[in-house]
C-alpha cells in the first residue's frame, strides 16, 4: 500500500512537471507535499515516515558514493575550494545570524544555528545537476563539489557539537583506509560486469562506508563519499558508477518525497520560506564574487556559484539535531530553493552566453592556472573530448602521421594523456572565452568526441561562427541528437552503435572473402 501511494504520486507529479520543462525532482518534492496534505484520507501507518527516511538515506549515501567515484582528491585541496568554502560560510553566518536575531526576535543560539543551516548548499541537487550534464569533472564542477565537501565537513562538526556526541577512539581507524585500496581494487577487478559489481558497490557505499563510519561515531555520508573517492582512480570506477545509477535514482526519489512529507506549513512558515528564497540570489552572488577573488574567470565562477545557489538538505539534518521545531519551515525553504535553482542550472550555459560580456569585466587581470588560454600550435586536426572514443580516434589518426592536438575539460584526464605522450591541453569547449579570437587557420578537421551532446552542438556552432570551413565530424548515441549536431554545423555525425555494428559486419565480410581474420 505504501509503495503504491509513493510511486503513484511521484510518477504523476514528476511526469507533470517534466511536461512543463522542469526537472523531475520538483515533481517529487510536490508529491511529498501532496501526500502530506492527503495523509488524513490515505490512512498511512505510523511507520510510513521511518521507512521513507531509510530509503531516502540510502539514496543520499549512494549519490555521495558515486560522487566520490568521480573525484580526484588532489584537485580539491586548492585555495579556491577551501578558501571559497570557508569564507562563504563565515560571511553568510555573520550576515544571516544578526538579521534573524533582530527580525524574528529569536534567541542568539537559535538565530546562530538557523544561519548555519541556511549557509550550506545542497550536495544532492548540485551533484545531481552536474552529473546530469556530465560536468562533475569539469573545472567548475570540481570546484563546486569541493566547496560542498568543505561545507559537509563543517556540518558534521556542527552536528557533533550540537548533539554533544563525539567520535569514539575507534574513529582513528579511518586513517588506515588507504591501506585497503589494493584489496578493494582486486575485488573490483574480479567482480565481473553483472550483479556482483552492483553488490560490491552497495557493500562499499552502504555497509563498509556508511554503517562502518556510523559505528565509530562519524557521519555515514562522509563514509560513503570516502570509499567512493578511494576507488576514483580505478579504471572501472565509471562502470561501477553506471551500474549503480538506476538504484541511486530510485532511492533519491524517496529523498525528495521525504522533504515534502515533513508536514504542511502554516502562514508564518510560508512567509519565512518566501523571504529566504528571495534572498537566495545573494548567496549565488557572494559565491561568484569570492571565486573571482581567487582568480577564477567569470564563466567558472558563474557556473560554480549557480550550482550552489540553493539551500541544503544538511540544513535539515542540522535542524533535526539542534532545532527540531524549525524542520518544516526549513523543509519548505529547501523545496522552494530547489524550484528556483533546478531550472536555472538547466539553462546555466545559455544564461552565461547572455551575461558573459558584462560578467567578464569583473575578472581579475591574472587568470587561474587551470584556465590559461590555449594555443593550437601547428596541429592539423583537433580532437575535442578524450574519453574512450576520442582516445581511439586520436591514436588512429596519429598512426597515420597527422599532427594532432587534443582538448579536454578534465585536468585529471589531461595529466593522464600527457603522461602517455599525447599532445593535449586543458580547455572547455563550452567556454565563450576559449573561442574568442581563436586562430583556426591551420586546422583542417575537428573531431567532436565529448560525452555531452550540448557540448558538441555548442562547439559546432562556435566553429562555424568563427569562420571555420574545415571538416567537422562527431558521434552520437541517438538519431535526434545527431540531427541537431549536424544542424549546428557538423559535416557528419555517426551513430555510435550503428557504426559498431557496421564495423563488425566488415570484419566478418573480410573473413568470408579472404578466409582469415582482418588484422
Please report the pLDDT score of residue 5 as a whole number: 81
CA 420 to chain centre: 28
Q: What does DSSP assign to residue 374?
A: P
Q: Please, which residues have CB within 8 angstroms of residue 49's CB and are 6 or more apart in sequence? A: 258, 261
Distance separating alpha carbons of residues 351 and 349, to the nearest angstrom: 5
Among 372, 361, 385, 374, residue whose Cα is nearest residue 458: 385
DSSP secondary structure letters along 126-156: HHHHHHHTT-TTSHHHHHHHHHHHHHHHHHH
Q: Are 472 and 446 in contact (CB under 8 A)?
A: yes
Alpha helices in 164-297 (DSSP H): 181-189, 195-202, 212-215, 220-230, 237-243, 245-260, 267-278, 280-293
293-307, 364-378, 391-405, 464-478: least confidently modelled range:
364-378
In the chain, % of residues over pLDDT 90: 27
| pLDDT over threshold 60, residue 450 | yes
For range 194-204, the mean pLDDT: 91
Please report the pLDDT score of residue 83 as a whole number: 92
In the chain, % of residues over pLDDT 70: 90
Distance separating alpha carbons of residues 376 and 99, to the nearest angstrom: 52
Residue 163 CB neighbour total at 10 angstroms: 12
pTM above 0.95, yes or no: no
pLDDT tens digits for range 147-179: 988 887 787 678 767 766 667 777 777 888 888
For range 191-203, the mean pLDDT: 90
252-261, 435-444, 494-503: least confidently modelled range:
435-444
For residues 477 and 286, which has the higher predicted lDDT (pLDDT)?
286
| pLDDT over threshold 60, residue 137 | yes
| pLDDT over threshold 80, residue 2 | no
* pLDDT band at residue 235 under the 50/70/90 scheme: confident
The mean pLDDT of the chain is 84
pLDDT tens digits for range 335-351: 889 888 888 888 888 88
* pLDDT band at residue 118 under the 50/70/90 scheme: very high
Q: C-alpha cell of 161? A: 557539537
| pLDDT over threshold 90, residue 275 | yes
| pLDDT over threshold 80, residue 383 | yes
Please report the pLDDT score of residue 73 as a whole number: 66
| pLDDT over threshold 80, residue 332 | yes
Q: Are 385 and 417 in contact (CB under 8 A)?
A: no
The distance in angstroms from the start CA to the end CA of the chain is: 59
pLDDT tens digits for range 66-91: 878 877 666 667 888 999 999 999 99
* pLDDT band at residue 271 under the 50/70/90 scheme: very high
The packing angle between helices 267-278 and 280-293, to 10°, is: 30
* pLDDT band at residue 313 under the 50/70/90 scheme: confident
* pLDDT band at residue 304 under the 50/70/90 scheme: very high
Residue 514 CB neighbour total at 10 angstroms: 9
| pLDDT over threshold 90, residue 202 | yes
For range 297-313, the mean pLDDT: 90
Amino acid at each position: 500500500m505504501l509503495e503504491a501511494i509513493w510511486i503513484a504520486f511521484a510518477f504523476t507529479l514528476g511526469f507533470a512537471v517534466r511536461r512543463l520543462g522542469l526537472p523531475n525532482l520538483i515533481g517529487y518534492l510536490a508529491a511529498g507535499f501532496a501526500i502530506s496534505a492527503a495523509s488524513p484520507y490515505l490512512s498511512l501507518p505510523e511507520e510510513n515516515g521511518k521507512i521513507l527516511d531509510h530509503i531516502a538515506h540510502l539514496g543520499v549515501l549512494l549519490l555521495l558514493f558515486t560522487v566520490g567515484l568521480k573525484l580526484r582528491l588532489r584537485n580539491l585541496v586548492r585555495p579556491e575550494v577551501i578558501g571559497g568554502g570557508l569564507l562563504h560560510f563565515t560571511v553568510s553566518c555573520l550576515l544571516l545570524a544578526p538579521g534573524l536575531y533582530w527580525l524574528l526576535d529569536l534567541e542568539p543560539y537559535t538565530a546562530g544555528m538557523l544561519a548555519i543551516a541556511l549557509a550550506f548548499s545542497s550536495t544532492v541537487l548540485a551533484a545531481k545537476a552536474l552529473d546530469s550534464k556530465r560536468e562533475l569533472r569539469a573545472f567548475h564542477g570540481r570546484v563546486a563539489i569541493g566547496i560542498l565537501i568543505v561545507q559537509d565537513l563543517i556540518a558534521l562538526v556542527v552536528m557533533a557539537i550540537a548533539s554533544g556526541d563525539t567520535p569514539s577512539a575507534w574513529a582513528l581507524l579511518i586513517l588506515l583506509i588507504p591501506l585497503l585500496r589494493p584489496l578493494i581494487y582486486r575485488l573490483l577487478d574480479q567482480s565481473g560486469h553483472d550483479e556482483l559489481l552492483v553488490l560490491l558497490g552497495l557493500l562499499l557505499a552502504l555497509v563498509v562506508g556508511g554503517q562502518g563510519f556510523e559505528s565509530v561515531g562519524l557521519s555515514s555520508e562522509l563514509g560513503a563519499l570516502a570509499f567512493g573517492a578511494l576507488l576514483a582512480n580505478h579504471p572501472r570506477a565509471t562502470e561501477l558508477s553506471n551500474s549503480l545509477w538506476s538504484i541511486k535514482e530510485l532511492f533519491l526519489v524517496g529523498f525528495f518525497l521525504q522533504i515534502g512529507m515533513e508536514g504542511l506549513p502554516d502562514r508564518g512558515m510560508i512567509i519565512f520560506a518566501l523571504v529566504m528564497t528571495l534572498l537566495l540570489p545573494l548567496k549565488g552572488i557572494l559565491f561568484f564574487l569570492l571565486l573571482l577573488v581567487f582568480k577564477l574567470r567569470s564563466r567558472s565562477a558563474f557556473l560554480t556559484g549557480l550550482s550552489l545557489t540553493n539551500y541544503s538538505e544538511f540544513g535539515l539534518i542540522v535542524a533535526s539535531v539542534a532545532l527540531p521545531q524549525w524542520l518544516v519551515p526549513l523543509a519548505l525553504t529547501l523545496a522552494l530553493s530547489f524550484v528556483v535553482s533546478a531550472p536555472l542550472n538547466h539553462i546555466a550555459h545559455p544564461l552565461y552566453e547572455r551575461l558573459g560580456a558584462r560578467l567578464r569585466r569583473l575578472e581579475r587581470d591574472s587568470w587561474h592556472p587551470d584556465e590559461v588560454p590555449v594555443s593550437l600550435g601547428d596541429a592539423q586536426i583537433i580532437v575535442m573530448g578524450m574519453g574512450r572514443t576520442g582516445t581511439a580516434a586520436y591514436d588512429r589518426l596519429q598512426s597515420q602521421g597527422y599532427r594532432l592536438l587534443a582538448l579536454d575539460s578534465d585536468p585529471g584526464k589531461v595529466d593522464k594523456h600527457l603522461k602517455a605522450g599525447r599532445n593535449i591541453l586543458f580547455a572547455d569547449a563550452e567556454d565563450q572565452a576559449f573561442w574568442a579570437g581563436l586562430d583556426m587557420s591551420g586546422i583542417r578537421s575537428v573531431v567532436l568526441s565529448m560525452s555531452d551532446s550540448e557540448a558538441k552542438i555548442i562547439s559546432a556552432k562556435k566553429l562555424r561562427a568563427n569562420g571555420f570551413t574545415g571538416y567537422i565530424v562527431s558521434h552520437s548515441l541517438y538519431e535526434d541528437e545527431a540531427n541537431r549536431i549536424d544542424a549546428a554545423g557538423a559535416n557528419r555525425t555517426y551513430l555510435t552503435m550503428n557504426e559498431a555494428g557496421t564495423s563488425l559486419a566488415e570484419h566478418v565480410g573480410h573473413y568470408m572473402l579472404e578466409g582469415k581474420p582482418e588484422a
